[in-house]
């Protein structure tokens, strides 16, 4: 599994989140601790939704 934001492999990380796209609910968004902290935006590959 990789962080949706930075592409980092999060399997070795402790602190990360996985959630479904708030718009289409189809795509899983994965964010590592760093991207969570920085509040990087993510983009859904399915519907193009961009969110914090």
Binding site for Zn ion (CB under 5 A): 3, 5-6, 8, 21, 23-24, 27, 32, 35, 44, 46-47, 49
Which of 6/17 has CB closer to Zn ion?
A: 6
Bridge partners (DSSP) listed for residue 20: 28
Residue 11 C-beta: closest distance to Zn ion, Å: 13
Q: Nearest Cα to 29, choosing from 3, 10, 8, 9? A: 3
Residue 20 C-beta: closest distance to Zn ion, Å: 8
d(CA 38, CA 47): 23
């Amino acid at each position: 599994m990789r962080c949706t934001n930075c592409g980092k492999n999060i399997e070795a990380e402790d602190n990360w989140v996985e959630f479904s796209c708030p718009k289409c609910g189809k795509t899983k968004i994965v964010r590592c601790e760093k991207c969570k902290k920085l509040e990087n935006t993510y983009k859904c590959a399915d519907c193009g939704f961009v969110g914090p």
